[in-house]
Amino acid sequence: MALDGYSDQTMSRKAMKAELLDAETELRLAYAWRDERDEQALHRLITAYMRLAISMASKFRRYGAPMNDLIQEASLGLMKAADKFDPDRGVRFSTYAVWWIKASIQDYVMRNWSMVRTGSTSSQKSLFFNMRRVQARLEREAAAEGKTLAGHELRRMIAEEVGVPLHDVEMMEGRLSGSDYSLNATQSAEDEGREWIEALEDDSMQADERVENSHDTETLRHWLLSALSNLNERERFIVRERKLREEPRTLESLGDELGLSKERVRQLEAAAFGKMRKSLENQSREVLNFLA
């Protein structure tokens, strides 16, 4: 049921005028949709319970989302409920639909609360929608006893009450206490157009670092080629196949190709690495002596 072009007041008026279904009619419509995919039956079922969807959507207005968007999400939940409802279970459709409507609205609220993802697990969702209520109750109870709860103690009690880890409470408190700001917003009136994005550190590699890295890479490449040149052809072949391929070959496959045992290939590989290590150490020592 598309709601584009309708105000929330218009949708509320239309929903209040919809028919009220008795249990027998509701059951008949549910069977007609499930067994025959009768779209007219589905439309009657959804239209009759739009007042339920709108009523539930109104309970989430305090999270700052437009009412029309909340109704849209509630109607999507209602349609999902109608599609998955099994009339053979002996449960009224409204009882079943409540859970789908609530889940759809909650997912929408959490997706749009912040550009930074607020949470996706069931415990995080429970914390998001219950934290303020639980906090207010705990503070009232403490005040009635003449106590004042410290921040850490309050967060610990909330975690125990909701049944979530303490770090989840600390994370959610930070998310709920702040708002998203544009990086293009000015820092203050005195800065005359200076935007927050201008204060961010550039993480990209600087010119001197690029030159230094390029020089180091070329030096290492020269050293490696020089070390490889000290190996015989068979040793170079083994090193290349074992270390310089995207998918290194096994000792066994090299042994089959060279007509050697797996253990012999391993010995040749170790000897080749030993020669290369000695060559690299000599070259690095020459550089250190030159710089000394």
Q: Please report, for the domain that includes residue 42, its CATH number.
A: 1.20.120.1810
Please say whether the beta carbons of 281 and 235 come within 8 A. Answer: no
Shared domain check, 286 and 216: yes
Alpha helices in the chain (DSSP H): 8-16, 23-36, 39-48, 50-58, 67-84, 93-113, 122-144, 151-162, 166-177, 207-229, 233-243, 251-258, 262-291
Q: Give per-residue pLDDT as tens, 204-262.
A: 566 666 667 777 777 778 878 888 888 899 998 998 898 888 888 899 999 999 999 99
For residue 206, the model assigns a pLDDT of 61
Range of the domain at 171: 122-177
Shared domain check, 274 and 212: yes
Shared domain check, 160 and 94: no
Q: Is residue 202 part of a domain?
A: no
Number of domains in the chain: 3
Domain boundary among 92, 113, 134: 113
For residue 25, CA distances in Å to 1, 41, 67, 79, 143 come to 21, 10, 30, 18, 52
In whole angstroms, give the CA distance from residue 169 to residue 163: 10
Shared domain check, 85 and 156: no
Of 42-46, 62-66, 195-199, minimum mean pLDDT range: 195-199
Give the model's confidence band at 194: pLDDT under 50 very low, under 70 low, under 90 confident, else very high. low
Residue type present at position 78: L
Dump the DSSP string for 215-253. Answer: HHHHHHHHHHHHHHHTS-HHHHHHHHHHHSSSSPPPHHH
